[in-house]
Structure 1
Amino acid sequence: MQQAPPTLAVANPRLLGLMRETVLPPLLDAFTDVVDGLREPLLEQGARLGIDPAPLIDGLYVMRQQREAVLGAFRTHLFRAWQALESGAPLTSRLSFDGRATNLDLVEHDELEVQLAVHHLADALTREWQSQLLSLNSYLTWIDPGLRMDADSNPFSPAQIAMGVYEGFSAVSLPGVMRVNAVECCERVLIELVGPIYETVYAILAREFGVPEKGSGQARIAHIPSTGAESAEPEPDWLTRFFGEWEVGEPGQAAAAARSPTAATPDDSTLPPALHRLLEDSRAAREEVQGRDPGMSGPRNTLSQRELVSILTLLQIAPDESIAAMVRPPGALLPRFKKQMFATAALLGVEARAVKLSAADENIVDLIGMLFQVMFDECDLSPAQREVLGKLIAPMTKVALQDRQLFLQATHPARRLLNVLAEACEGNHGQSGEERELLEKVEATVGRLALEFDESQSVFRALRGDFNLYYGEYRRRADIAERELAERQRLDEALEKARNWARAALQSRLEARVIPAPVRELLQARWAAHAAALEAGGKGHAALMQIDGLLQALESAQKEGPAARWDSVVDWLQPVWLSSGKSRTEIAAARTAMMEALHQGAMGHPTAMPEVPGDVVPETALPSVPETHASPLVSVSPLSREELEAGIEYDNVTAEYFSNLPVGTWLDFVGRDNRVQAGKLSWISPISSRLLFVTRSGARIAVASAQELAIMVKLDRLRLHRPDDAFHSAMQGVIDRLGPVAAGQSVAA
């Protein structure tokens, strides 16, 4: 997470102009590419959805004839957003459609579909580039003290881009189905192009105002705080430590490198010298501990990088058995990777014992091998999933040998493909049909990469775009399941609160009162449930009026003695019988039985309440309200009953940390079998302050209080989860494992 930049003392119109010149041209080019390349993806999508191609073809003809009007409307909206900002009255980024689609006839229905697609486009861009937007927002807040521009008035925000797309396709008369599908097709291209633009803007801001104090990298993972824990200054992350001063010089060069990964860089190395030295020290330390292979110690020729890439290309298409032998056994991935690489060299007629890697190339091979080892250790992956992702080791090594942007840019296509595939696999145990289909899609994507990746990295972008079409729908379904789960938890907690209220209200009214046994039994058995249902619906006062009226009528009847009429008392019980679902016949029988029992009691001959059809009285005095769901959520705790009853003292500092945990935070839950499962904080109850954690598929993991989570930390059952960027997190893990080398300690493979 970025540190807040220094406050600006004066407005900076030159900077605004520079930003506009940096942002607008690539955005306009991106939309132009979408419009010009719309025919093929539009017809493919129409065929996939079973849409009549005739209106799509008609719409494509109209767009070809009025191309400039479409592009001009998009351009005009973005220019208008910048002009509004520079005039001191920035446009809001909230989507606004000027009150269109107010009726529900056919035309208006199509308009509503278009607006929903625009909302989805904005949401997709925001979700995809959330970290880049967060990095920018701290600067944008202070870009001009008079404007106080923030995320809501950002002229290049996802919402403004989506609105520009909407205006572009609204500028000409297109069939509704054409507009909907055109907006949806924009998502695939724009998602890939917007991120590098945001990174370029950040580079300009950092160059103009200075990099925040802690550097431009992501924040290091901190330990969960506790009493007595040292609050030392966090160490810089790997990106800041090694790459902070080793980047492409001009911000424009970063954008050019993003568009053309083969562009020349200031030097040929893809790693900074300090990291090269650390990797060499690590390798020397491992060889000292493990010993050098005697057969590899003689004079050997150094493989050129081109020869190494050829070997990796063969390993990239190696049989599944070779990949499985390399990645399935736990640990020691790097030596198995290098062994398999030299074994593959034999297919090119190269004697493994007669060749070696250059020091620089071997450093990169070591780095990628260790990176995948850390990623496999951090992620909740099955052996089969490790084997699938293991097929990416050779392609990622080839990219790392040739393109430094893999390490410098979070938007790099190869890095982003690895991240999304790891995310799709993590914690996915294939328990549902949708989860199994997702894993099959991951396997198919990796298989295509192994067959198609040669030199051009465009295959990473194309495969990720294709995978995102499927994964986006999967995530939307997961989001819906997550929201439904939170709503169920809210309803359950509201009902539990109503139960407690009903029990307390009944208990306070029955104490110190002489209540006929039949009435007491009925109230204890039925009224608590009846009152809880009313309270949960916001009508608890009606239940209190009923019982107070009943008790008042009962008191009056008791004063009259044997001659009392009990009709008024029984009338107050009518709602209780109704709420229990009794039929009219059963209610009539219950009334008669209650009247008879009360009369016998008043005559001095108390009798038990006779059994009435359909009237089953629970054994407990104050029963719980029947559950509205098959598996209630309100009582689900990650701790066992024995752990809850053990009286383990929790740390107040840790509990306070969880009390302020922001929604969206990921934690690792460690089971009693040491299985680790990642869970996201999805919802915090406004009733009980309990926290609901879910998996990536939207399934529940736990519902727990801050105190219960603090106990889990004490039991080593809970820890912070790595950042969602699997590549970044794994790189940090590699550097942390290499750290002991700098201190002169030995390092395991």
Structure 2
Amino acid sequence: MNNVNERSHLSNIVDLAERSGSIANDPRNERVGELLASVRGVSTRHLMSLMGSMFDNVDDALFDLAEKAENNAVQTQYFDGMRDVRKKRPLIERSFIDMITGAFSKLAGGQRHAHGETQNEQRAFGGSPELSLVDERDLEESLAVTSMTSKAEGRLSHSLFAVNQRLTVICGGTKVDNVDNPIGPATLTRSFGEAMSELKVEVRVKLIVFKLFERYVLNNLEPLYEEINHTLIQAGVLPQLRTPGAKRSTTTQPRPQQRNEANAAQDVEGDDNDNSMLRTKLVETLQSLLAERRQTYGYGQPAMGNSGPSLSPAELLGALSVLQGEVARSTVSMPTQIPIDTTLSAEDVRLLKEQLVRQISHLRGEAKSYVSGADEDTIDLISMLFEYILQDHNLPMEMQVLLARLQIPYLKAAILDRRLFAHANHPARRLLDELAEAAKSWSAESDRDQRLLGKVRSVVETLLSDFDDDIEVFNRQLDEFRKFLDGSNRRAQLAEQRAAEATRGREKLQQARRRAAQEILSRIDGRELPALVNGILTRAWANYLVLTLLRHGEESKEFRVGLRFVDDFVWSVGPIRSDVERARLNQLLPLLEKSLRHGLATVAFQDADVENLMRQLNTLYNGQLNLREEVAVAQTVSEAMPIPDSMEAIATPETLSETEETAKPAVQPDSPEVQRVRALKVGTWVEFQADSERPERAKLSWISPISGKYLFVNRRGLKVADKTLDQFASELASGQTVVLEELPLFDRALDAIVERLRTSQSTPNAEAPKPNA
């Protein structure tokens, strides 16, 4: 937007300089200090209440996380964090409120924040002006805080804009923006970050406290802003201020019938933050490409025309409402069970313009009807958005069909509020992105009770039946859908945790079995042992070593003692060549018996089996010592092997080769496929297409630090598959598995639309490219 448009828009709202002169600079007005003090008092009262609620919930949150911690070290971090937060809570609350009070004092004194360049801001996240590199933990905090601030400012933009303008007036006319506002999300988050420096806790604990600050403080600022605006209005400060982008009724406040593109763009201009978003390259490019298509190629003229009186907003929206009712009735009549009707096509989406023209002509009783160029561009842009949805591989077909039925509500929303395309925080845009993100994880197998499919359908039906001209319906549906997802996600997270723990347990067991087998086989070293001794070592004692590894670890005293038994046991059945060796064996036998009894009891041998085994060993050793028994008799007895059949022999060359095989890479470590797999992050969704009839969608849940295997779960948290790196890379290369896009639907669609428009204008007869097929 150019500066002329900005000045024009602001003058329509209020002449701030004139108003500030009438209030703040009037020497007779002694209430300015009182007004600022009143705002400060209301603010500190609200904030102390909100901070109290937050800290009341910190204990419960950290305790719940400690109970679910993956290991003792993490659990200790959470418990230490609980203790430190309890201890430092009064100090943090006092420090936070003091900084907010100080911000009001600076505002009254005409001081302004340096927009993120102060040393205080850097200290809040552990930074230093002299350092060019940022510690990873500090970066995590900084990113979390930036995200919190951005989301809060977007959600509160209207009421925050009004507070900023009124504070500007009572502070003498010097502009107050989001960064200068003592109770703006930026100042609150920055002050809380500095107050949090009192906590000496792990970064994961700090991030959880920040998240709770967002939930209990930033998400509940609307009542505070409303009270402040009401207080200042009552005091006569900008009582007629109109907030940019506020809801308009199409019947009582229609837009002018003749609107050029500059005027249309003013609808989405808003405050300074909105201006910066509108100037993004993507939106400018879209506007330019649409205008060029319409003016240069005459695109759409046969359908909509380009001359004569254009439709009023009420007429356009009225015609859309009639069509919306028809879609709503057809959606209600859709079958509720899978498979649902999936015959809706991109052609059906494109036909909306023709249907709209016929409907408008019918309502007006005229042969032809026209819309403005800007409205025609909006109609075409929404049409392309929903064509993209119907071709988007990220969405299962059933979800494509449901979401495509939202074309008319979204067209109405775009006509009412052009910020839909420019603002990532627009409620209609956020709702569509949330629906698409949830739909990405859907499959018939993972949603057998059809809870997710039913909820998406419910949102679609509600928008079709309830949306007239109140954009807030998107916010309400977004809140309800998020609550639904929160409940589903909590259940899924528990199941996902159990799946990861089960896989981790199996891998630890496999690793322990492999280590036990390696140690025993290396000590046998190819010797021909009596069958009895070989059976004890490869079955009972191997299982004992496995349990010892799992319970105590390979550096433990218990494991070393277990290996020493193997050495002594193997030696004890070898040939006795001297009196010294015979004496050593006599001394060793009681120790061997004691260790063996302990090991057998550990692996749950029955007492009767233990005694039988000891009798046979006694016969064997009598033969070793040549004490009247024949060696042949001892050898025959030893072959009885009283080892339970259920106890698998795990220390054998065959089982060792099997366990080692899974760890051997079968692909080149620097191949493109492997590099692509290594770059994937936990949380990435994929589609397994081996079964083309019923492809399964799954999330990368966990990567084993032991075997490097990739664990995949469905949206309910249930295990779908685990794959080695080379298996996964091979499936990606062959197309059996497809990685789904992570970028939000709206962003992906706008990128694809820009590319489509560019391609169609460079080669007018070319077919528009399909989105990520």
TM-score (norm 1): 0.59
Which of 188, 192, 196 aligns to 1:160? It is: 192
Q: Distance in 1 between matches of 2:276 and 2:45?
A: 20
Superposed CA offset, 1:59-104 (max 9, x none): xxxxxxxxxxxx999764545699999564766479xxxxxxxxxx
Residue 652 of structure 2 is aligned to residue 622 of structure 1: yes
Which of 290, 312, 324 aligns to 1:316? It is: 324
Residue 571 of structure 2 is aligned to residue 555 of structure 1: yes
Distance 1:391 1:527, change over 3 A: same
Which of 515, 528, 546 aligns to 2:562? It is: 546
Which of 486, 492, 508 aligns to 2:506? It is: 492
Counterpart for residue 462 of structure 2: 448
Q: Distance in 2 between matches of 1:286 and 1:467?
A: 37
SS in 2 for 1:329: coil
Task: After TM superposition, give the deviation of residue 507 of structure 1 in Å.
Answer: 1.3
Q: Distance in 2 between matches of 1:532 and 1:282?
A: 77
Distance 1:618 1:706, change over 3 A: closer
Counterpart for residue 347 of structure 2: 332
Letter in 2 for 1:310: G
Task: After TM superposition, give the deviation of residue 410 of structure 1 in Å.
Answer: 0.6
Counterpart for residue 137 of structure 2: none
Distance 1:123 1:716, change over 3 A: same
Which of 307, 315, 318 aligns to 1:307? It is: 315
Counterpart for residue 592 of structure 1: 615
Distance 1:697 1:557, change over 3 A: closer
Task: After TM superposition, give the deviation of residue 408 of structure 1 in Å.
Answer: 1.3
Counterpart for residue 677 of structure 2: 658
Q: Distance in 1 between matches of 2:615 and 2:293?
A: 90
Q: Distance in 1 between matches of 2:465 and 2:611?
A: 78
1:346-361 equivalences in 2 (<5 Å)? 349=363, 354-355=368-369, 357-361=371-375
Tell whether the 8 Å contact from 2:267 to 2:418 is kept in structure 1 after alignment: no
Tell whether the 8 Å contact from 1:316 to 1:395 is kept in structure 2 after alignment: yes
For structure 2, which runs of at least 5 residues remain unmatched after alignment?
A: 1-38, 51-92, 107-112, 127-140, 155-184, 197-211, 226-260, 335-339, 625-629
Tell whether the 8 Å contact from 1:327 to 1:390 is kept in structure 2 after alignment: no
Which of 568, 583, 603 aligns to 2:631? It is: 603
Task: After TM superposition, give the deviation of residue 419 of structure 1 in Å.
Answer: 1.1
Residue 748 of structure 2 is aligned to residue 729 of structure 1: yes
Q: Distance in 2 between matches of 1:636 and 1:247?
A: 62
Distance 1:597 1:193, change over 3 A: farther
Residue 743 of structure 2 is aligned to residue 738 of structure 1: no
Tell whether the 8 Å contact from 1:649 to 1:711 is kept in structure 2 after alignment: no
Which of 580, 590, 596 aligns to 1:573? It is: 596
Q: Distance in 1 between matches of 2:469 and 2:49?
A: 28
Distance 1:370 1:188, change over 3 A: same
Letter in 2 for 1:736: E
For structure 1, which runs of at least 5 residues remain unmatched after alignment?
A: 1-24, 37-70, 95-121, 136-152, 165-180, 195-241, 626-633, 638-643
Tell whether the 8 Å contact from 2:433 to 2:744 is kept in structure 1 after alignment: yes
Tell whether the 8 Å contact from 2:389 to 2:403 is kept in structure 1 after alignment: no
Q: Distance in 2 between matches of 1:350 and 1:636?
A: 73
1:377-526 equivalences in 2 (<5 Å)? 377-378=391-392, 380-429=394-443, 431=445, 436-526=450-540
Tell whether the 8 Å contact from 1:364 to 1:400 is kept in structure 2 after alignment: yes
1:146-157 equivalences in 2 (<5 Å)? 156-157=188-189
Superposed CA offset, 1:418-443 (max 9, x none): 11122222222365679733443333
Letter in 2 for 1:548: R
Distance 1:401 1:421, change over 3 A: same
Letter in 1 for 2:631: M
Task: After TM superposition, give the deviation of residue 509 of structure 1 in Å.
Answer: 1.0
Counterpart for residue 583 of structure 1: 606
Tell whether the 8 Å contact from 1:590 to 1:612 is kept in structure 2 after alignment: yes
Tell whether the 8 Å contact from 1:270 to 1:401 is kept in structure 2 after alignment: no
Which of 695, 704, 712 aligns to 2:731? It is: 712
Tell whether the 8 Å contact from 1:34 to 1:189 is kept in structure 2 after alignment: no
Task: After TM superposition, give the deviation of residue 313 of structure 1 in Å.
Answer: 1.8
Q: Distance in 2 between matches of 1:524 and 1:584?
A: 20
Superposed CA offset, 1:508-541 (max 9, x none): 1111334211110222223333222222333335
Tell whether the 8 Å contact from 1:414 to 1:461 is kept in structure 2 after alignment: yes
Which of 503, 517, 527 aligns to 2:541? It is: 527
Tell whether the 8 Å contact from 2:360 to 2:369 is kept in structure 1 after alignment: no
Distance 1:426 1:662, change over 3 A: closer
Q: Distance in 1 between matches of 2:363 and 2:575?
A: 110
Counterpart for residue 46 of structure 1: none
Q: Distance in 2 between matches of 1:321 and 1:534?
A: 67
Q: Distance in 2 between matches of 1:692 and 1:79?
A: 51
Tell whether the 8 Å contact from 2:703 to 2:710 is kept in structure 1 after alignment: yes
SS in 2 for 1:318: helix
1:187-202 equivalences in 2 (<5 Å)? 189=220
Distance 1:682 1:81, change over 3 A: farther
When the two chains are superposed, the root-mean-square deviation of aligned CA atoms in Å is 5.7
Counterpart for residue 747 of structure 1: 767
1:128-207 equivalences in 2 (<5 Å)? 156-157=188-189, 160=192, 189=220
Distance 1:613 1:352, change over 3 A: farther
SS in 1 for 2:702: strand
Tell whether the 8 Å contact from 2:149 to 2:186 is kept in structure 1 after alignment: no
Distance 1:278 1:517, change over 3 A: farther
Q: Distance in 2 between matches of 1:124 and 1:699?
A: 31
Letter in 2 for 1:727: F
- Work out which of the two has the higher radius of gyration on C-alpha atoms and give 1 or 2: 2
Letter in 1 for 2:192: Q
Q: Distance in 1 between matches of 2:439 and 2:146?
A: 19
Letter in 2 for 1:471: L
Letter in 2 for 1:309: L
